[in-house]
């Protein structure tokens, strides 16, 4: 598992909710995997529900 983050995930109000690792996995601040990213830059949870968007 890579420890370097490549991008930040924010919810729709702009609050930072986690990071995206080099494999496209969204992780919270405790490094727990909470979802993944889609090709359009949207972060989704395991059920496919939108968590927020990926920003650099």
Under the banding of pLDDT at 50, 70 and 90, the label for residue 50 is very high
Q: Yes or no: say if 51 and 11 are a contact pair by the CB < 8 Å rule.
A: yes
Strand partners, 55: 8
pLDDT at 38: 94
The rounded distance, in Å, linking the Cα atoms of 53 and 43 is 5
Q: Is the dihedral of CA 12, 37, 20, 35 positive or negative?
A: positive
Using pLDDT thresholds of 50, 70 and 90, give the confidence band for residue 45: very high
- The answer, yes or no, to whether residue 5 has pLDDT greater than 80, is no
User: How far apart are the C-alpha atoms of 27 and 19, rounded to whole Å?
Assistant: 5
pLDDT band at 33 (very low <50, low <70, confident <90, very high): very high
């Amino acid at each position: 598992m890579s420890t370097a983050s490549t991008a930040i995930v924010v919810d729709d109000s702009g609050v930072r909710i986690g990071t995206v690792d080099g494999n496209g996995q969204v992780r919270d601040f405790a490094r727990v995997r909470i979802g993944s990213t889609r090709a359009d830059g949207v972060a989704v949870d395991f059920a496919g529900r939108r968590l927020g968007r990926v920003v650099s």
